[in-house]
Homo-oligomer: A and B are copies of this chain.
Amino acid sequence: MPFLALDSGVSNPMEEAVQSSHAGLVEKVANYLREHIVMDHFQPGQRLPERTLAVELQVSRTPLREALKILATEGLVVISPHRGAVVAEVSPADIKEKAYVLSVLEQAAAELTCINASDDDIAELQALHYEMKACFLRRDRQSYFRLNQEIHNRIVALSGNSALIDMHANLSRQLYRVRYLSNQKNEKWATAMEEHEAIMAALESRDPEQAGRELRNHLGKTWIKYANGEPIA
C-alpha cells in the first residue's frame, strides 16, 4: 500500500531533486529507499529482505541489490555476508563523529563562500535569513527547519567546490533524521538564531575565518547535546 509507483508516490521530502524520470531502475529504487530511510519511515536496525522488498517495489532483485550496495557505501544500510541488509543504526557516537565532520566541511564551505560568492548570492542568503527569522518569531518550527536547511545547503553550494558539496550532501543525508528531531525539541532556539545572525554578519563582511568559525561553532553547539546519551527517536 505505501509502495507502488516508485517515482511518483513519495512527496519529495528532501530538497534535492530526485530526477527520477528516465533514470535507471536502480537509481529510482536507491532514491526511494534513501528517502524512506532518511525520513525515518524505516526504523534503524530493520531488516530489508530482498525478495519481499522486491515484490513490494515491483522490481526484480537485481536492481534492488545494486541499490542496496549503493546505500551501503553511502552508510545508510549495513550489509552482512549471507545476512542481508539492515537499516544502519546510528549510535550517539556515530552522530557525534559525523556531526563533527559536517561542521568541519561547513566551516570550509563558509570560508570559500566568503571568497567566491557574488554580492547577489550573499543578498539572497540574507533574504532567506530574514525569512527564517520571521518563522522564528512566529514559532513556526516547520518552516524554520526548511529555511535553516536551505541556508546551510546554499552556503555549501556557493563554495563552488563540487567535491565538498557532494560529501556534505552525503553526510547531511545521514544526519537528516536526527537533525529533524533535533529541531522539534530545541530549547536553545533563540541561541541558535543569534548564532545565525553572527554567521550572516561574518559572511556579509566577507571574513572567511570568522564566518567559518561561527558556522562550525554553531553546528558544534547544535549537535553536541544529541551526541551525549538520550535516545535518538
The answer to whether A161 touches B73, judged by C-beta atoms less than 8 angstroms apart, is no
**Contact flags (1/0) for A40-84 with B, using CB distance below 8 Å?**
000000000000000000000010011001101110000001000
**What's the Cα separation between A73 and B166 when bound, in Å?**
11
Closest to A71 in B: B73
Taking CB atoms, residues of chain B closer than 8 Å to A74 are 73
Question: What's the dominant secondary structure at chain A's contact region?
Answer: helix
A94 within 8 A of B: yes
A70 CB, min distance to chain B CBs, angstroms:
5
**What's the least CB distance linking A105 to chain B, in Å?**
7
A63 to chain B, nearest CB (A): 10
Decide yes or no: A161 and B66 within 8 Å by CB, A73-B73, A73-B74 being known contacts: no
Question: Is A26 part of the binding interface, using a Cβ–Cβ cutoff of 8 Å?
Answer: yes
A73→B30 CA distance, assembly (Å): 12
Q: Does A97 contact B (CB under 8 A)?
A: yes
A23 within 8 A of B: yes
Chain B residues whose CB sits within 8 angstroms of the CB of A26 once the complex forms: 69
**In the complex, what distance in Å separates the CA atom of A164 from the CA atom of B171?**
11
Q: Is the C-beta of A101 less than 8 angstroms from some C-beta in chain B? A: yes
What are 27 A-B pairs at a CB distance below 8 A?
A23-B81, A24-B81, A26-B69, A62-B62, A65-B66, A66-B66, A66-B69, A69-B70, A70-B72, A70-B73, A73-B73, A94-B162, A97-B161, A97-B163, A98-B163, A100-B108, A100-B161, A100-B163, A101-B105, A101-B108, A104-B104, A104-B105, A104-B108, A104-B164, A163-B171, A167-B167, A167-B171
